[in-house]
Chain A
Amino acid sequence: MLDTVAIAQNNSDAAQPFAELGLKPDEYARIKEILGRRPTSSELAMYSVMWSEHCSYKSSKVHLKQFGDKAVKTDALLVGIGENAGVVDVGQGYAVTFKIESHNHPSFIEPYQGAATGVGGIVRDILTMGARPIAVMDPLRFGPADAADTRRVLPGIIAGVGGYGNCLGLPNIGGEVVFDETYIGNPLVNALCVGVMKHSDIKLAKAAGAGNLVVLYGAKTGGDGIGGVSVLASETFDSTGPAKRPAVQVGDPFVEKVLIECSLEIFAEDLVVGIQDLGGAGLSCATSELASGGSGGMKVELDRVPLRDATLSPEEILMSESQERMCAIVEPKHIERFLEICKKWDVTVTVIGEVTDGERLEITWHGDLIVDVPPRTVAHDGPVYNRPLAKPEYVDRVNAEQVIVPRPSTADEIKSTVLKLAATPNLADKSWVTSQYDRYVQGNTIQSQPDDSGMVRIDEKTHLGVAIATDANANWSYLNPYEGAKLALAEAARNIATAGAKPLAVTNCLNFGSPEDPGVMWQFAESVRGLADGCLEMGLPVTGGNVSFYNQTGAVAILPTPVIGVLGVIDDVRTRTPMSFDRAGLELYLLGETADDVAGSEWAYMHGQRGGCAPVADLQREMRLIELLVAGRTSQIFTAAHDLSQGGLSASLTEMVLRHNVGADITIANVEVALISESPGRVIVAIDPAKSEQLMALAKKQEIAIMKIGTTGGNNLVINGAIIPLNELRSAHTETFPKLFG
């Protein structure tokens, strides 16, 4: 039977299944207090999804506030945190918007659709800002590469990312593939999208102007993804395993591609006042957020929503997370043209309501009032928890551990260390993955995997471009979440700068275990504090982000995994510094200082060593290194530049020599440290010998340690006399993934 506002007023104490919908008793009591009666079942559905952890950030809000408190003073940020995605000024009248989101739990249950709709969701967020999406990236994390469940989820997730992104015509320009035991049963699927627009084209989620029309367009609404937000994203998996399949959304990238082109044509004619995509929490989110963005008043006739399944109840329609839908606010004078453009693209479009001059969101079902709420209470005034946090006991214990790993010193040991690192799944060639993604479409891709960052041109005439990198080092975050977040930020910024682009803004996707565990909450709080401090020190504004909690199975939480994305700008993509050299006779230099940083390193991980102390980030030095790299690009000193990170010098040299099949002869002191250490703030550069004085002057000016380590050429990678033939190195590096995953 239909539950209406009138009925709710009459039996205000009737029992309601709020707990099944994920609401706690005090949260339910607050809803009753707000409304002065019990909520109708439709209202309960709306509050339950919008007050879920995923939508309301109720556990993270108090910490995320630091991004505002420690905000960098900048003119570059055109739209900040709170909108669908932040917008950054990149010059020449262009604005760029970028954001990462997680789709972890759905991808565990239904790998292909979970990953696919993760891409679809983030692309719509970017589109919603008024931008043309121009590239995607996908940082992924899995259980051990040889684990049975990894074999189940990985192929589906890769195929889903590719299947959706390729069909949208978005180049996939990078990402990560990382394996660790703690991600078994909790793969991380983070999806990033970047879009570009002119400043004047920025759109906001705002329903202003009484009498303006609320227009729903895109796919019809179905029964998929109902309760996905509250049931899936906000609850830890229990031992009963994956039985929640119906809550995973099913995507159709063709519909989304048409929706993108249709929307961009609508935007180009300036036909909308405000716009919001339908993602998590579907219509509940879109209507309440749009109404909150305006004066608050909106009337919606829910029975007008076009359905794929005519039997859906109003509660289900409000909660459905059917993909490929958008909600626009359109002035009556523009509606005819709006409908025409939708018709051209064969996009289903329906006027479902209008903006009112009241302050309430009113939703009717065949004339009966079923929702009557102040929209801000749904969208923004959700519960806020200051959850207990406590430093977990493991931290001091593992920090005190000595890291004991084999130390390569003889030629044989050096060779076998390099080959082992080249082949280990975390460092092995990822072509098996990236060859399933289209990196060429749109014709503007300047860099993509395996380059340090992805780079796309945004103006063909001026050659302006943007670069993006995402990084996380969960091993370091496990040892020290504060430094771990700063180090990930520094690494992502450095990966932008090696190409010569200037870091400009930051986004993040914070993947953690259960916030109800004080230890996890401490990891989270420390990570946010580290990132906020780091961004402030580096002068990089945080434009937005995403929090994913409850990434744990039973009592085992994932490693704290704050994925940091940095966006950079480059004035002329033709002058970028490539990541490798393609000729002999160049000199190789190592920039930065190498300490015995094996704690949290890949080499330590390979030997079962998880302890020790993470390095301490020196962001001042990182900023000087970035200056050096950008200046070196501008004055065209470098033939190549490549970051050192996981796998240290060994991994970076491997990647450089294999890129164009040109070897190198390297001599390094203290090889047992230098080959495997992962000290932050280091870069290998290749230069023409004639430029060595310029390079030295630059290093001196920025006070960056510099050391010549060798020359390029030949068919081997030679390190202190240890000869590693390139074909042998290539086999080790490239055979891992095909062997594991076919």
Chain B
Amino acid sequence: MSGTVQGEQSARFSLWRQQQRLAPYIFVSPFLILFCTFGIYPIVKSFYLAFNTTNGPRSVVFTGLDNFRFLLHDPDFYTAVYNTATFAFFSVFLQLPLSLALALLLNARWLKGRNTFRFVFFSPYLVGQVFVGVLASVVFVPRFGLVPRFLHATLAANLDIKLLGNPALVMPALVGTALWMYVGLNCIYFLAALQAVDRELYEAAAVDGANAWQQFVHITAPAIKPVALVVVIMSTLGSFQLFELPFVMMNGPGPNKAGLTIVMYLYQRGFDIGNLGYASTIGWTLALMVLLISLAQVRISGAMRGNA
């Protein structure tokens, strides 16, 4: 009677209470299970594999530090590091001023069609690295392609210029393509930061007699510093993991390994040759490099901020 109804209610209440308590665990668990299987386990296993060598099918042999010793003496690894670092350096330091300049231009109060311009600059990013790579491989075709013809018309370059076949020109081609892809994205970041700056600050500064350059240094620059840092860090991290663009553009590392990046090197040694252990070694070395560089960048920016 009333006892059972109350019993029912309290049973329901405790059930409800239970599910409330359990809810977070249930919500997190599918993610957690998958994360442990495909996130944590591989990380740990990779650490183990780095000290092993796999050769031939299904054979894993513990070889201790042999992989690391080999890595340190492998000229191909250094080529990959050199290529990747060069790419990262030029990518970041060419993109930064260019995207900032574009953002400044687009920030003009009186500008019409800002969204259209923004979209045009951003569209290559939408295309994605693989498709850009495919397009680039066709657009760089010597003698006939768009870019050799353009270079011939503007810089009087040789029409037969082999941008993807000449080891010396591969890096400029890569950097240029990456520039085309990512300037729009960085421009959007900068533009958002610029537009977040209160116009009144400029007005106030003008009243105080500051000229345009002083306004830039004292108002604009501090506003975009955090964004600039984020852009630099993200660009660097992204550049160090470059794989798809050169791989698709040149269907491999390119002439004389001019397009070999660290991740491509990892892929070749791990999946073309089959040495998964060595691939893990390369992976961890890359992780270490990336960590050190990020730390360095944060330090430097902190120092800059301290001095500013």
Tell whether A and B belong to one assembly: no
